[in-house]
Structure 1
Amino acid sequence: MSGLMQKEYERVKLHATVMNTLFRKEPSDSESPRLARGQRKTRESFDARSVLKHFKDYEFGSLTIPNIHLSQRFSTGQDLYYQCVAMAALPKS
């Protein structure tokens, strides 16, 4: 146990979220009623294979990632992103 947060699972899957459909904005959001506190938007999945195929040879550029955040699930920080419970700075190249 690292002591950073309460253990929830035996295994953790290391991943990076590229596009989170849960926080998507609908074109008609300004007209639609807001969800009551505690209610969640339904997650809408989509098949991105056609997008990946279309952009398979596209050069998106490069990005230097200065640090890695360990986030607490189901939490929100002041910046409205997941609450960061630990951060590791990456070496500069």
Structure 2
Amino acid sequence: MAQRFLDSGFMLRQQERGYGPEHVKLHMTIMNTRLREKRFAVVNTTLPPTRKPRNSFDARTIMKHNHDFSFGRVHNPSINVVDPNNCEKDRFYKKIAKLALPKLLQTQQQ
């Protein structure tokens, strides 16, 4: 993926930026605790944002207990590249690019 970003001009070589070898950090949100807040419920769409800290939880026990459980498969036709320092009006990260995955990668996930 890093090579693809480099070839397309989407990413600079790390050496040009004064860093080590190229790498891409992938992140996936499994459960967004922000969505547990009442103001995100369908019946409470008019509630204003709050400054309360979120209630986080440690999912390591759940993952350890279910380490061999098949949660199913997800087919991703694309990857969204976001800017974690900027948010849209809906308070989700601002999407700066959308990368379509080749069909080959989609079928290999099956």
TM-score (norm 1): 0.59
Shift of 1:13: 4.4
Amino acid at match of 1:48: A
Matches within 5 A, 1:36-47: 36=49, 39-47=50-58
The within-5 A match list for 1:10-89 is 13-26=25-38, 34-36=47-49, 39-73=50-84, 74-76=86-88, 80=90, 81-89=92-100
Deviation per CA, 1:27-55, whole angstroms, max 9, x where unpaired? xx779xx445xx43412221212211232
Greater helix percent: which structure? 2
Which structure has the larger Rg?
2
Can you give the 5+ residue segments of structure 2 that lack an aligned partner in the other structure? 1-8, 12-17, 105-110
Structure of higher RCO (CA pairs closer than 8 Å, 6+ residues apart): 1
The structural deviation recorded for 1:65 is: 0.7
Q: What is the RMSD of the two structures over their aligned residues, measured on CA atoms?
A: 3.4
Q: Deviations over 1:61-82 (max 9, x none)?
A: 11111111111333126xx343
| Residue 90, structure 1, aligned to residue 101, structure 2 | yes
Say how many residue pairs are matched: 80
Greater alpha carbon shift after TM alignment, 61-70 vs 39-48: 39-48
Query: Which residue identity is paired with 1:14?
Result: L
TM-score by length of 2: 0.52
